[in-house]
Homo-oligomer: A and B are copies of this chain.
Amino acid sequence: MSISAAKVGQRLCSAGATVLAEGQATTRVYVLLAGWAFRFKSLEDGRRQILNFLLPGDLLGLQGELLARLPHGVEALTPVNLCAFGSDAVPSFFRDHPGIALDVTWLAAHEERLVDDAVLTVGRRTAMERVAALLVHLFKRAASVGLVERDSIPFPLTQLHIADALGLSVVHTNRVLQRLRKGGFIRLEDQRLAIGDLGAMRRVGQYWEQPAPLRPLL
């Protein structure tokens, strides 16, 4: 029995669309099949913080399912294809398919690891370190789902997204990116990102995370 047997439908969202609204009451669980998205929270006055980015294979909406109300929003960065499950999917996994339930929990633990990392980045890294660490992180993640092509990955984020993920202003983000470009650390153009020397970038970002072990689902 694979997880896809419980699939009840698909959902498509276009780039920039709200996939799940912040604070939404009833939610379904989805698996991201294709495209990029991100989770975020905002303050009343509009300040926004991106929590983490979602790539194919990631689970969405689990918090809404378990916690009754979704405490964050989800927005698509590119056109996105979601695999939707029935409203009783989660409980039924736990009841009848312990292997899948464990996979779901694994995905939750994995995502928490990403967010733990985001706290460290935003709380203790300098602006330069933050940008470098994020770019390395995204590069590796994209690589792990097979998105590398001729040394570069698709990069659908704007500088605003980077700023909102790192707790920086757009202006400062822009200046840091320029330093990285002029230093020859990255090539970022045409919605694609290439990193010349991963080791060097890791060093500027103080970023030594090991890639996650094998991922379940899909």
A interface residues (Cβ-Cβ under 8 A, vs B): 39, 41-45, 47-49, 51, 62-63, 66-69, 71-72, 91, 94-95, 98-99, 101-102, 104-106, 108-113, 115-120, 122-125, 166-167, 206, 208-210, 212-213
Contacts and interface: CB of A to CB of B under 8 A. Distances in A.
Contact of A94 (B68, B72, B98, B117): B98
Specify the main secondary structure of chain A where it touches its partner: helix
A67 B101 contact: no
Copies in the complex: 2
A69 to B, nearest CB: 7
Contact of A41 (B44, B106, B120): B120
Contact of A124 (B119, B167, B212): B167
B125 A43 contact: yes
B105 A67 contact: no
A40 to B, nearest CB: 9
A108 B101 contact: no
A116 B117 CA distance: 11
A101 B111 contact: no
Which of A48, A123, A212: most chain B CB closer than 10 A?
Answer: A123
